[in-house]
Amino acid sequence: MDGSAPRRPWPGPSGPAIPFLALSIAAAIGCAHPPAREAAQPVARVAMAQTVAADPSAGTPQARAQRSWCSYLEALYGRSTKDGTAWGRFDECLAHGSSASPIMLQHTADCSRRALDATEGDPLTAEYAGQVRRCGTEAIEAAALSVEELEPLVATVCERAAACGSGTYADCRIALDARLETRLGRAVGAINVESREKLRACLGAAACDDPMNARISGCLEPIMDRLLWLPPGTER
């Protein structure tokens, strides 16, 4: 790939190619307002990959997963243009430092690619969008951390709250209700080890003037913005 911009804008005029996946992941995690509810579509359930492909020539598991995601985008571009136009952003996609865990990213890429391969004709349809949305949601749910696995992060949040004079450690644990812990479990399960360390460091140094929910969102959102690479200009 020469890195040049594609001749035809992408996504094409027949509908959004990618945003439905990014939005579904943000909604599942709880880091963004979910999109408006759509009419139910007859969606086929697509199985997820169980492991990251073990190809040592492709680099680390993170690099292999990112390549799978970029290959999926390239295939989707080819199906949506139908004129043999080369996608000029593959290398740009590969260079993206994704915050996603390799397993979550690989599952999403593989499931989305299988859904694409099983779709006849124009893939930019509501039915295909539903299938890929399901891929992202299932990957998030499969990677979610349990309450026990989330404990070190929760401890950091509450230690910071106590240090900021926002109440006692025990008060903070009570304030972290089951819904918030579920959202945190999804978010932290979806990101890689490096990103988890950054998140914990951010939460441990969050501004005392912000309420707890704002501290968590403020630390999470920049990390979640790097979860999936999307072509520049694509709506999220």
DSSP symbols for 173-201: HHHS-HHHHHHHHHHHHHB-HHHHHHHHH
pLDDT digits (tens, 9 = 90+) for 24-51: 455 555 544 333 333 333 232 333 333 3
CA distance 181 to 188: 10
Q: Domain spans of the chain?
A: 19-143, 147-224
Q: What stretches in the chain show pLDDT beneath 70?
A: 1-58, 233-236
- The pLDDT of residue 86 is 85
- The pLDDT of residue 72 is 94
> Which amino acid type is present at position 71?
S
- The pLDDT of residue 182 is 86
Q: What is the pTM of this model?
A: 0.75
Nearest residue to 25 via CA among 99, 117, 93, 124: 99
Q: Give the other-Cβ count within 10 Å of 224's Cβ.
A: 23
Half-sphere exposure of 44 (CA within 13 A, CB side): 12
pLDDT digits (tens, 9 = 90+) for 186-210: 999 999 999 999 999 999 999 999 8
